């Protein structure tokens, strides 16, 4: 089964691409890390308790007082309030974001692996792993290919974000964009994986949905050509071969990660 990592940055159109891929003619199953991240911090979960214990004493509005559907396990998290605590470039916010990620990421990984095994056993040709911080979390290691949805102009990204979430101030929007890194860097990292074999594909979303759909179509044609459906069935029928291919993919991706990190260090050294 081909694991297609889908990433980008906030307000670049990743969710739209995910919706396109889940609909005909592709009809691919989506493993959405954002949805899973909400699931693992619902009232009563270990993640919820850890967040309340750490952030609660210093964040008076961390919990929603008037939730429309209250849970018997506790009041739901006030996500905008939590976002204000972790989004930004100050050392305090970086530290808080690291703590939050340390709570959420392990639980999300477990849910992701469980979902991937489920779709593999169902004989799916491919599954889309939708993760905003795919590279940053290291989950690109398990992906056969990566699609980055990006925009060339950060101003487009900011405008889309504030149109989508009008309650955000300009500062809040900028902090959220910066917290997910420059999407153009992510695009370069995808291309570094190898565009010829469709191991890394960039879908630019600077215009309207019609052009975006055309770009997705071109990307998926390239991916399908390099990893046809019959190959997925062959790997399912012969588990030892499938395991060998998975290990080889991990080795190649690990080497690619190290190569990218070396390149970034050399670029910074030249500055």
CATH code at position 203: 3.40.50.300
**Domain co-membership, 130 together with 119:** no
**pLDDT value at residue 220:** 95
105-109, 124-128, 172-176, 247-251: least confidently modelled range: 172-176
**pLDDT value at residue 268:** 84
Using the 3D structure, point to which of 64, 99, 123 is the last residue of a domain.
123
| Domain boundaries, position 112 | 35-123
Using the 3D structure, point to which of 71, 100, 123 is the last residue of a domain.
123
Q: Provide the number of structural domains found in the chain.
A: 2
**Domain co-membership, 181 together with 90:** no
Q: Output 253-262 pairs: Cβ under 8 A, ≥24 positions apart.
A: 253/140, 253/141, 253/142, 253/143, 253/193, 254/141, 256/192, 256/193, 256/194, 256/199, 257/138, 257/140, 257/141, 259/192, 260/189, 260/192
What letter does residue 124 receive in the DSSP assignment?
-
**Domain co-membership, 11 together with 133:** yes
Using the 3D structure, point to which of 123, 143, 173 is the last residue of a domain.
123
**Domain co-membership, 111 together with 194:** no
Q: Which residues contact 52 (CB under 8 A, 6 or more apart)?
A: 62, 63, 74
Whole-number Å distance between alpha carbons of 62 and 170: 22
Rounded to an integer, the average pLDDT of 87-104 is 87
């Amino acid at each position: 089964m081909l694991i297609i990592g889908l990433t980008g940055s906030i307000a670049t159109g990743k969710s739209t691409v995910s919706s396109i891929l889940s609909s005909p003619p592709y009809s691919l199953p989506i493993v959405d890390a954002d949805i899973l991240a909400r699931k693992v911090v619902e009232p009563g979960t270990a993640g919820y308790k850890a967040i309340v214990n750490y952030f609660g004493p210093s964040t008076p509005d961390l919990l929603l007082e008037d939730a429309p559907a209250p849970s018997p396990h506790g009041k739901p998290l006030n996500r905008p309030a939590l976002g204000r605590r972790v989004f930004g470039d100050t050392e305090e916010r970086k530290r808080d974001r690291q703590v939050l990620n340390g709570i959420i990421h392990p639980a999300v990984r477990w849910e992701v692996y469980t979902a991937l095994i489920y779709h593999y056993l169902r004989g799916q040709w491919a599954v889309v792993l939708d993760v905003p911080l795919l590279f940053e979390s290291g989950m690109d290691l398990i992906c056969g290919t990566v699609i980055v949805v990006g925009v060339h102009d950060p101003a487009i990204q900011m405008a889309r974000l504030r149109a989508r979430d009008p309650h955000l101030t300009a500062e809040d929007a900028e902090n959220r964009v910066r917290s997910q890194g420059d999407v153009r860097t992510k695009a370069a990292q995808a291309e570094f994986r190898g565009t010829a074999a469709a191991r890394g594909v960039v879908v630019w979303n600077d215009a309207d949905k019609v052009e975006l759909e055309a770009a997705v179509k071109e990307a998926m044609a390239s991916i399908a050509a390099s990893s046809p459906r019959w190959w997925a069935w062959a790997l399912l029928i012969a588990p030892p071969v499938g395991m060998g291919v998975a290990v080889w993919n991990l080795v190649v991706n690990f080497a690619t990660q190290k190569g990218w990190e070396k390149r970034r260090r050399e670029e910074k050294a030249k500055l």
